[in-house]
Amino acid sequence: MHDLVIRGGTIIDGTGADRFTGDLAVDDGVITQVGGKAGAASREIQADGLLVTPGWVDVHTHYDGQATWDPELASSSWNGSTTILFGNCGVGFAPVRTEHHEALIDLMEGVEDIPGIALAEGLDWDWESFPEYMDALERRDRVIDVAAQMPHHALRVYVMGERAIRHELATSEDIEIMARLTGEAIQAGAFGFTTSRTDSHKTTSGDFVPGRYSGTDELVGIGRELGRLGAGVFGLISDFEDEDAEFEWMTKLSAETGRPFWFLLTDRGTDPQRWRRLIAGAKAAEKQGASITAQVAGRPVGLVLGLTTSLTPFSVRSTFRELDDLSAEDKLARLRDPEVKRAILGEEVSDRLLKVLPPLTQAIATRWDRMYVLGDPPNYEPTQDQSVAALAERAGKSPEEFAYDYLVGGDGNAKFLFPVTNYVTGDLEPVREMITNPDTVLGLSDGGAHCGIICDASVPSFMLSHWGRDRSRGERLPVEWLVKKQTADTADFFGFKDRGRLQPGKKADVNLIDFEKLQPRAPEIVNDLPAGGKRLIQKVDGYAATIVSGETIFERGVATGARPGKLVRAGR
């Protein structure tokens, strides 16, 4: 008598092999049979017509704080992710001294746009060291599994204090302590170490993150600790200002330690060939005995612009900003006043607001050819004739007036998509090349981050629905390959050895998917973070069930109340 049998589904096992029909049996949270006809079970699920896949292993999220108070971890859990990894981009909340709580909150808010008020309310800080943080994560119940990495910026502030915030170079003693603490984190089950060396990561006050200008001797010292332990992955966000120099130290360190490296890769409008050069750099490193992989996103990284999100095309106009403190209903009513409309559209962009808002704001206020109606279901590969500029021309309006009328129409929840990266050519062909390159790993869903402006936790669902079924502007990709890319491949790269495949002995993390109905819905704003903090969420249709360790956590999008999720410790 099995605990659970999923009967008659179309099994895509995560290995990349062709699909097949059969049963899947589970006992004590572990898969015991795949294919054929399984025996009787205490509980059965009829899966005729459904895809049966492993749960997604999402390796780039930012639930570092949310995982300490939120058992559901949406939107990732809604979108079939059964294992999530955070501690990315060098930001996190451990190790930490009491006097640096606010500094780490400010850092996370600045880099990842997670409301500081929510973090201040939600974090109870019942830890100081990284092993204590892991213990705190282990004490919480949740629906899916979580895992963590050691974040460099938090580590640097813990060891160096104000010297880290002032971007002073680390001493040999500082480096020795950082290496030792990283080793303790790895031994406590951290899956690796991450840092960022990019101008795009700043605090809320506009300062660069503590590790922005760390010397390579500091990074090498920490990386050698991973090599000494023979465990952990080294993750890097870099501007690659000197591509040769950056690859030189990474290549030497990876070859020396035997540890895999990853760096974040997207396309860049000012340098369209950059991503190809960086992948070539990773390939060249492989020939020198290193293991360097580009982590790539499966769709455009795009800002969601609407009246309820953090930015709109009119956020740099003073009259519009005067309405910020109104309720959503009152703001919408005021914006529908013809006099208010006339005042806002007749107003010049405010230089004062341009200085205090993110650098992209000027482009958002002027590049109507790069802004698209998002829609429901959302369109992440729009054509140029679907841009605001083109739609306005057909409507006989200026782009400003078209955008204004669209946002204040209906119920006021209409939104635009403004791709920042991965849409330089106006289609997803560069993204297809990146994700199909053998020297890349899929990531950058950023689940839990960019709460008021980006919502990409649905990327795992999008990978199947868009790339495997709906894409009309170019080549589609085999569903079996897409499943492998975000299950076995992500699990293997980071060392999740017990999951990512539907095979006997593997953990019973399973998605049952109605493939024809699989569809992410339009992002929406809710105020359900601690202290009423707002965030974008994204629901999805088509998941008949999501199962973690043999327990069903969602049925047709409805939570069952089961909370089998655990902290995953590397090597355990």
Burial level of 104, CB count in 10 A (0-12/13-18/19+)?
buried
**pLDDT at site 270:** 87
**pLDDT at site 553:** 98
Identify the segments of the chain with pLDDT beneath 70: 356-359
**Is 331:481 a contact under the CB 8 Å cutoff?**
no
For 37, the 3-state DSSP assignment is coil
**pLDDT at site 358:** 66
H helices present in 455-562, as ranges: 459-462, 479-485, 488-494
User: Residue 300: CB partners within 8 Å, gap ≥ 6?
Assistant: 380, 381, 417, 419, 420, 421, 422, 423, 428, 431
Separation CA 191–CA 288 (nearest Å): 24
Which residue segments constitute the domains of the chain, with CATH numbers given?
56-300+423-520 (3.20.20.140), 304-419 (no CATH)
518, 519, 525, 528: CA torsion to nearest 10 = 0
**Is 308:323 a contact under the CB 8 Å cutoff?**
no
pLDDT tens, residue by residue, 285-300: 999 999 999 999 999 9
**pLDDT at site 349:** 81
Separation CA 435–CA 43 (nearest Å): 38
Separation CA 337–CA 48 (nearest Å): 54
Q: Give the strand pairing for 2-11 and 20-27.
A: antiparallel
What pTM was estimated for this model as a whole? 0.96
User: Around Cβ 258, how many Cβ atoms within 10 Å?
Assistant: 12
Separation CA 546–CA 401 (nearest Å): 44
Which residue, among 570, 540, 509, 552, has the nearest Cα to 30 in the 3D structure?
509
**pLDDT at site 206:** 84
246, 252, 255, 259: CA torsion to nearest 10 = -50
Separation CA 563–CA 139 (nearest Å): 12
Separation CA 157–CA 458 (nearest Å): 33
